[in-house]
């Protein structure tokens, strides 16, 4: 059983996102460790890109700072290794845009990511149509490319994408970019049900979830709750990010029980 399968044994799971290098590299490693040891079941570890076109202002700002402070793909992978060394044993999924991976060298990236201890990839600008090259590379490496679905996905696309899903399905709950929303999108339950028709893989919901209450509501329908912007804003804006990360993880974990 791999780390992702183990994580989904107790559903719904809590999946925060945090970018490496923000507010600086050392703090981000400490923050991710704190999230992992205080209730996060899986962490989306963010790789920064200069042009994050699926992200709202909060994540744009954070990844911009990370880049200004000198984060690179290489340093990010070394940070994953460091997290493993510190005993973080939950799945760490690398989330980033395609170009820095291309620049690093896809084959080398996939190999080094595995070696560092990553468990999979989320690449928002790599839809099904373009993913063969990437997926083909990880033939001898079992790390999954997590497929994304959106409210705009047609039933045909949902079937095609969900059918092949490995790891879990990332269901984007709103038509839009990352960022907290006042209320959950209507018809979310229906959307989740549609996805489940085509796959037995866990279905996790992200984009727009900002409070533990919203997380609980989503957790009643989905197998996992992804919290990105709220996590970055709350922890990044704090004077003691590591302490805040602990509290943040606990508050969401508590509500998802």
Partner 1 sequence: MTLLPTKFGPYGGQFVPETLMPALIELEEAFVSAKADAAFQAEFNKLMASFVGRPTPLTYAKRLSEKLGGAQIYLKREDLAHTGAHKINNALGQALLVKRMGKQRVVAETGAGQHGVASATAAALLGLECVVYMGEVDIARQEPNVFRMKLLGAEVRPVSSGTKTLKDAINEAIRDWVTNVNDTHYLLGSALGPHPYPTIVREFQSVIGTEARNQMMMDAGRLPDTVIACVGGGSNAIGVFSGFVDDEQVELIGVEAGGSGIESGKHAARFGDPSKGRIGVIHGTRTYVLQDEDGQIAETHSVSAGLDYAAVGPEHALLRDLERAFYTSATDKEALSAFHELCHTEGIIPALESSHAVAEVIKRAPTMRKDQVILVNLSGRGDKDLNTVMKEMGNL
Q: Which is nearer to partner 1, 178 or 244 (CB)?
A: 178
189 in contact with partner 1 (CB under 8 A)? no
Of residues 124-153, those binding partner 1 (CB under 8 A)? 124-130, 148-153
How many residues bind partner 1 (CB under 8 A)? The answer is 41
Q: Report if residue 199 touches partner 1, rule: CB under 8 A.
A: no
Residue choice 14, 17, 18, 104 for contact with partner 1 (CB under 8 A): 104
Q: Give the separation between CA 149 and CA 6, rounded to whole angstroms.
A: 23
Beta carbon nearer to partner 1, 229 or 244: 229
User: Measured between alpha carbons, how far is 7 from 161 in angstroms, rounded to an integer?
Assistant: 22
Please indicate whether residue 51 is annotated as part of the active site: no
The minimum distance between CB 140 and partner 1, in angstroms, equals 24
| Nearest distance in Å: CB 28, partner 1 | 17
| Dihedrals phi, psi of 80, to nearest 5 degrees | -60, -45
17 touching partner 1, by CB under 8 A: no
Element (H, E) at 225: strand 224-227
Least distance between partner 1 and beta carbon 110 (Å): 15
Q: Where are the alpha helices (DSSP H) in the chain?
A: 3-7, 25-36, 57-68, 73-85, 98-104, 106-116, 132-137, 155-163, 188-196, 212-219, 229-236, 241-255
Nearer to partner 1, 148 or 245 (CB): 148
Cβ partners under 8 Å of residue 227, min gap 6: 14, 15, 16, 17, 206, 209, 210, 215, 252
Q: Which residue, among 135, 87, 93, 88, has the nearest Cα to 114 in the 3D structure?
A: 93
Cβ atoms of 14 and 214 within 8 Å: the answer is: no
Of 6 and 54, the one with the shorter C-beta distance to partner 1 is: 54
The SS3 assignment for 92 reads strand
Burial of 165 (0-12, 13-18, 19+ CB in 10 A): buried
- CB of residue 239 vs partner 1: minimum separation in angstroms? 26
Instruction: Verify whether residue 119 is a known catalytic residue.
Output: no
**Of 33, 44, 217, 223, which is the active-site residue?**
44
Query: Does 107 contact partner 1 by CB under 8 A?
Result: no
| Residue range at the interface with partner 1 (CB under 8 A); choices 43-51, 77-85, 137-145, 195-203 | 43-51
Q: Which residue ranges make up the site for partner 1 (CB under 8 A)?
A: 49-54, 56-57, 60, 64, 67, 72-74, 98-104, 124-130, 148-154, 157, 161, 172, 175-177
The catalytic site residues sit at 44, 55
């Amino acid at each position: 059983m791999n780390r992702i399968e183990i994580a989904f044994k107790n559903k719904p799971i809590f999946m925060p996102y945090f970018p490496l290098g923000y507010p600086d590299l050392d703090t981000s490693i400490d923050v991710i460790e704190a999230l992992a040891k205080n209730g996060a079941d899986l962490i989306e570890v963010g790789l920064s890109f200069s042009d994050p076109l699926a992200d709202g202002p909060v994540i744009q700002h954070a990844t911009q700072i990370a880049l200004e402070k000198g984060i690179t793909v290489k340093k990010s992978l070394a940070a994953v290794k460091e997290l493993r060394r510190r005993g973080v044993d939950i799945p760490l999924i690398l989330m980033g845009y395609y170009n820095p991976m291309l620049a690093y060298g896809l084959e080398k990236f996939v190999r080094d990511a595995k070696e560092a201890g990553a468990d999979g990839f989320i690449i928002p600008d790599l839809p099904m149509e373009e993913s063969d090259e990437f997926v083909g590379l990880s033939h001898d490496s079992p790390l999954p490319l997590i497929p994304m679905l959106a409210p705009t996905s047609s039933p045909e696309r949902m079937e095609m994408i969900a059918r092949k899903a490995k790891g879990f399905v990332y269901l984007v709950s709103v038509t839009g970019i990352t960022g907290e929303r006042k209320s959950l999108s209507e018809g979310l339950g229906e959307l989740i049900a549609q996805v489940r028709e085509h796959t037995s893989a866990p279905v996790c919901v992200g984009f727009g979830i900002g409070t533990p209450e919203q997380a609980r509501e989503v957790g009643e329908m989905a197998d996992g709750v992804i919290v990105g912007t709220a996590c970055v804003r709350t922890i990044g804006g704090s004077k003691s990010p590591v302490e805040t990360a602990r509290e943040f993880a606990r508050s969401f974990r508590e509500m998802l029980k």
